[in-house]
Structure 1
Amino acid sequence: MKIGLYFGTFNPIHVGHLIIANHMAENSDLEQIWMVVTPHNPLKKKNTLLDDYHRLQMVFLATESFPKIKPSDIEFKLPQPNYTVNTLAHLQEKFPQHEFALIMGEDNLNSLQKWKNYEVILQNHDIYVYPRLNSGEIDSQFINHSKIHRVGAPVIELSSTFIRESIKNNKNVVPMLPNKVWEYIDHNLFYKK
């Protein structure tokens, strides 16, 4: 099975994440999308990042009615800080029957050459890139690369930061979140301060 890994803090997961994940599941050769919740980096200031398991629970709630989209806590069990190349190696070892690919926005593709062992990632894994506004100039080495697939997904400019700020300021964010995610946030009074 070919699985697309969509990494994020998902703080919180919102409809934009689901639109991209679902588009990849329905309009590419990826058979499943795993929403990989990135753990809190212990070296970084906690700030507004919710506990790992609250964010995982929100991803679970958001994806339970999408059979091709699954939550993943795989990085919770790996040494910190996490590097994508290490996560990919771990997954390939744990699930040798699957083929793993990355899903990223064009903005991340622009910084790919700064990633640890990015050449190893490109050698062994496909990368599915969705469009972003203002992503800047793509490095020429990535423009016609055989492992990089541009997917004409909808351009979604919705951010978790905007949602957190809106909640803090008592704005209505209900249309931006899956219903069960909004209920979970509201019930727990997350992002209020």
Structure 2
Amino acid sequence: MKIGLYFGSFNPIHIGHLVIANHIAEYSDLDEIWFVVTPHNPFKKKSSLLDNYHRLEMVYRATKDYKKLKPSDIEFSLPQPNYTINTLVYLQEKHPGHAFSLIMGEDNLKSFHKWKNYEIILENHHIYVYPRVTKETTETQFDGHEKIHHIKAPIMEISSTFIRKAIKEGKNVKPLFPENVWEYLDEMNFYK
């Protein structure tokens, strides 16, 4: 089985994440997309993150009606801060019959050479890259690499940062969520 791993803090998950993941699930050779909820990204401040299990609950609610999209808490039990290479090694040992690929935005591909053991990741895994809105050109040292696949997914200009700020300001952002995710967010008073 071919699994695409879509890593993120999903703080919160929104329709932009779902549109991209569903598009890749439908228009690539991947069988499933796993939303890997990251407890702590080494490049982000931890203080702005909602509790791991609240973010996982929102991902669960957002994906439950999609056959090919799954929530994953695989990184919750790994030592922190965690690196993608460690998660990939762990998953490959746990699921030897699966082939794991990464899903990332073009912006992440630009800094991919800074990732821990990126050469080993590229040697053993494919990477599916979706477009991002950007002012500068997105040429990277990985252009033309046989294991990097550019997917013509819709460009989503919605960010979790924008959503958190809008909620704090009392704006109505309900259309940016699946109904059941919005209900949970609203009921829990998150980001207010």
Tell me the TM-score normalised to structure 1 length: 0.95
Alignment match, 2:187:
187
Unaligned 5+ runs, structure 2: none
Q: Say if 1:2 and 1:98, in contact at 8 Å, map to a contact too.
A: yes
Q: Note closer, same or farther for the CA distance 1:44–1:137 as it changes in structure 2 (3 Å cut).
A: closer
By how many angstroms is 1:137 displaced? 3.8
By how many angstroms is 1:40 displaced? 3.2
Q: Distance in 1 between matches of 2:44 and 2:142?
A: 30
**Percent identity at matched positions?**
67
By how many angstroms is 1:133 displaced? 1.1
Higher mean displacement: 40-49 or 110-119: 40-49
Q: How does 1:6-155 map to 2 (within 5 A)?
A: 6-40=6-40, 45-134=45-134, 136-155=136-155
Q: Note closer, same or farther for the CA distance 1:160–1:44 as it changes in structure 2 (3 Å cut).
A: closer
Alpha carbon RMSD of aligned pairs, Å?
1.6
Q: Distance in 1 between matches of 2:43 and 2:100?
A: 28
Cα deviation, 1:5-31, whole Å, max 9, x if unaligned, reads: 000000000000000000010000000
Q: Note closer, same or farther for the CA distance 1:46–1:120 as it changes in structure 2 (3 Å cut).
A: closer
Q: Note closer, same or farther for the CA distance 1:92–1:135 as it changes in structure 2 (3 Å cut).
A: farther
By how many angstroms is 1:56 displaced? 0.2
Q: Secondary structure at the match of 2:48?
A: coil
Q: Say if 2:11 and 2:49, in contact at 8 Å, map to a contact too.
A: yes
Unaligned 5+ runs, structure 1: none
Q: Distance in 1 between matches of 2:42 and 2:124?
A: 29
Q: Secondary structure at the match of 2:142?
A: helix
Letter matched to residue 126 of structure 1: H
Cα deviation, 1:79-99, whole Å, max 9, x if unaligned, reads: 111100110000000000000
Alignment match, 2:3:
3
Tell me the TM-score normalised to structure 2 length: 0.96
Q: Note closer, same or farther for the CA distance 1:89–1:173 as it changes in structure 2 (3 Å cut).
A: same
Letter matched to residue 38 of structure 1: T
